[in-house]
Chain A
């Protein structure tokens, strides 16, 4: 496959890619720390994955195989759009198979299949600042990160437990990276948080509108915030996938009729199809 000759390989010019890669390197060196970068306007709107796209564009080589998922699925509209974009401007091979991909760009999920060394998971991040709901000012949150002043985040968890009996954060559940930086895992369900811990693959996070890049290098400790006597517990619907029968994957709830009937199916389409093929 070849790429559109009207654009540089993977859309961005080489100078911009170098700038993004420098930010990525810095992010990898300081795990969990948000590195500001000169995000560019992209042909896709802000909030639709411009940060992830810029990171992917900057690390992609002609030999890479790209997988793009949104909500765990390869066939959601935005995933299709981004995959098409890269096959057009980079001409790289694309796949829906997690195991065949070298770069996986994702919105809101981590694939069920454990990732391996050499793979890169690129997250699209809407709000990189884990403290933004508690403190909207970047000048203040930057100071809090510098001083590792995270008492406020714990106050939030305390309030949840006092009010509801447990932490009410279901997705975008904050994590401590390498015992130093509080980090937003992007809006993945809390169910996916444990997968980030000691992951053999490199995890890169790109926030285009907020112009930040951060990273979790392979085999880094990623701990979901909790209390000793209220430990973090990931949750999923207590059901089996209607297609593949999986009881350990994250499930989407699908309303199938107008009488309240519903079924549960794997949100990770590749995981589900792989299991269905194996069963046949």
Chain B
């Protein structure tokens, strides 16, 4: 087994009387897709924010191993280092494309921003890469100069993915990437994400309440409830043979629907 890319141990966090995280641990290996599932309020989004350094836990640690093999305690990193990581080795796909895109900047500019942020200074080169990435996420590259606000919800979400993947991050954090989209659009988007992630060998942490999305994308699943990981394991094992009553409930409610 390879060395984990992201290693979290003993994470605890309380908001007043509410327990947001209760002794949560997690390993993520290079190229691995892990889904964190649970209902809203289960602590899964809080976990994502803690893992990405946006929120500090009361206890516990999160280690990230960078491309050069150096380990960084995420919560001890300077803001500068964390930001640099966020625009190079990491990527964040938001539930709402509005949070992840610059709505007043063209599709090409949105995709090119990460390249320019790390020093790309050739207009033609940036534009060519942006066009290529639009094609990869199945957006007609003739729309490179259009503003995202004229795009459909599904296109906006694909554009957001292109914007994140253009710099070939090693780790992508996704927060309900298919939330708010039509079912048919969701399926297409999940398929696209699965192919891109496999092609590029990116590690993904996916937060979702959608068991079907987790089944399609994830190698492993963590089930969260009340801030605790109640069950984890390989996707097929967890979904086909759930051990914890809560997981059984989650799985059966999907099957019933």
Contacts and interface: CB of A to CB of B under 8 A. Distances in A.
Q: Do chains A and B touch in the complex (CB under 8 A)?
A: yes
B80 interface: yes
A152 B102 CA distance: 10
Interface stretch (B42-50, B113-121, B153-161, B212-220): B113-121
A155 B105 contact: yes
B109 to A, nearest CB: 5
B117 A151 contact: yes
A162 B108 CA distance: 9
B79 interface: yes
Interface in A121-168: 143, 146-147, 149-152, 154-155, 158-159, 161-163
Interface string B93-127: 00000000010011011001110111001111111
Contact of B113 (A143, A146, A151, A229): A151
Contacts of A151: 87, 113-114, 116-118
Given A143-B79, A151-B87, A227 B114 contact: no
B59 interface: no
A158 B123 contact: yes
Contacts, number: 58
A149 B123 contact: no
B138 interface: no
A230 interface: yes
Contact of A228 (B84, B106, B109, B121): B121
B162 to A, nearest CB: 15
B145 interface: yes
A154 B113 CA distance: 8
Contact of A227 (B80, B105, B123, B145): B123
B117 A158 contact: no
Contact of B122 (A155, A163, A227): A227
A98 B70 CA distance: 57
Nearest to A153: B116
A151 B84 CA distance: 12
Given A154-B116, A155-B113, A158-B112, A227 B79 contact: no
Given A158-B112, A162-B127, A163-B145, A149 B122 contact: no
Contact of A155 (B79, B112, B145): B112
Contact of A229 (B102, B108, B123): B123
A154 to B, nearest CB: 4
Contacts of A155: 102, 105, 109, 112-113, 116
B108 A158 contact: yes
A222 to B, nearest CB: 17
Interface residues of A, number: 19
Q: How large is the interface on B (under 10, 10 to 19, 20 to 34, 35 or more residues)?
A: 20 to 34
Contacts of A154: 113, 116-117, 121
Nearest to A162: B145
A66 to B, nearest CB: 41
B83 interface: yes
Contacts of A163: 106, 145
B189 to A, nearest CB: 25
Nearest to A225: B121
Interface in B132-151: 144-145
Given A155-B102, A155-B105, A162-B145, A228 B113 contact: no
Nearest to B116: A154
A147 B117 CA distance: 11
Nearest to B120: A154
Contact of B117 (A149, A161, A229, A230): A149
Interface string A175-198: 000000000000000000000000
24 contacts: A147-B79, A149-B83, A149-B117, A150-B117, A151-B116, A154-B117, A154-B121, A155-B102, A155-B105, A155-B113, A155-B116, A158-B108, A158-B109, A158-B112, A158-B123, A158-B126, A162-B108, A162-B127, A162-B144, A162-B145, A163-B106, A163-B145, A226-B121, A229-B122
Interface of B: 79-80, 83-84, 87, 102, 105-106, 108-109, 112-114, 116-118, 121-127, 144-145
Interface of A: 143, 146-147, 149-152, 154-155, 158-159, 161-163, 226-230
Given A147-B84, A152-B113, 9 more contacts: A146-B80, A147-B83, A155-B105, A155-B109, A158-B112, A158-B116, A158-B123, A162-B145, A229-B125
